[in-house]
Chain A
Amino acid sequence: NAGVTQTPKFQVLKTGQSMTLQCAQDMNHNSMYWYRQDPGMGLRLIYYSASEGTTDKGEVPNGYNVSRLNKREFSLRLESAAPSQTSVYFCASRVKGNYGYTFGSGTRLTVV
């Protein structure tokens, strides 16, 4: 099993450009999440999807949109990238209930 797969692994954008970060899981998990990680800030929740067809805002949703395409895939879109969105982005999933999250390997995004 691949677990949680994120693409791309690295990306450099110019301010104002748009892009979509892709995430797919093959564990039949119900819930999926997008986090950003910045030095000294821990992991902050951007958006999450408790189940297929639903999405909700997390702690830092401004400047992002998401799509839960199906049970496997949950994408994160930056419509107009800003330098403040330079970060490492992690996608995660978990089975229904209070269990640990499985994280993808991350996307390292730089906005110049």
Chain B
Amino acid sequence: GQQVMQIPQYQHVQEGEDFTTYCNSSTTLSNIQWYKQRPGGHPVFLIQLVKSGEVKKQKRLTFQFGEAKKNSSLHITATQTTDVGTYFCAGLPSNTGKLIFGQGTTLQVKP
């Protein structure tokens, strides 16, 4: 079946270090979304990417959508303790209307 794989599963960084999580789909995606889930909380929508090669920024967060629309990344510059949580990508395959979530990357930040 269609899958969205996300790596790494866990990442521990020192506060101030950068962090990147990667997302790869087995099929071409219409769009990809990113969510953040704080410990004990619920997923919160961050952003949606639609165009091939698209790059969007939100303060210290940079989101990229690959040229082939099969992969994406989220990069956080100079992490802060408030960045702690699990980051999920979610892809919408071109041939279905069902969003498929990656397994998530859990980020821990040491102060």
| B27 nearest CB across to chain A (Å) | 15
Which residues in A have their C-beta under 8 angstroms from that of B47? 100
Asked if A100 contacts B33 (CB within 8 A), the reply is: yes
From the candidates A58, A99, A100, A106, name the one contacting B42 in the complex (CB within 8 A): A106
- CB pair A44–B31 under 8 Å, yes or no, is no
Q: A: which residues have CB within 8 A of B?
A: 35, 40-45, 48, 50, 58-59, 90, 98-106
The residues of A that contact B45 with a CB separation of less than 8 Å are: 100-102
Contact assessment for B43 and A98 in the assembled complex, using a CB-CB cutoff below 8 Å: no
Contact B31 A98 (CB under 8 A): yes
Known contacts A45-B98, A98-B50, A100-B33; A40/B42 CB under 8 A: no
Q: How far is the CB of A45 from chain B (nearest CB, A)?
A: 6
**How far, in Å, is A26 (CB) from chain B's closest CB?**
16
B residues in contact with A100, CB < 8 Å = 33, 35, 45-48
Given the complex, which residues of B lie within 8 Å of A58, measured CB to CB? 98
Whole-angstrom CA separation of A105 from B40 in the bound complex:
9
- Cβ–Cβ < 8 Å partners of A104 in chain B: 42
Q: How far is the CA of A35 from the CA of B9 in the complex (A)?
A: 20
Q: Which residues of A contact B43 (CB under 8 A)?
A: 43, 90, 101, 103
Q: Which A residues are in CB contact (< 8 Å) with B33?
A: 100-101
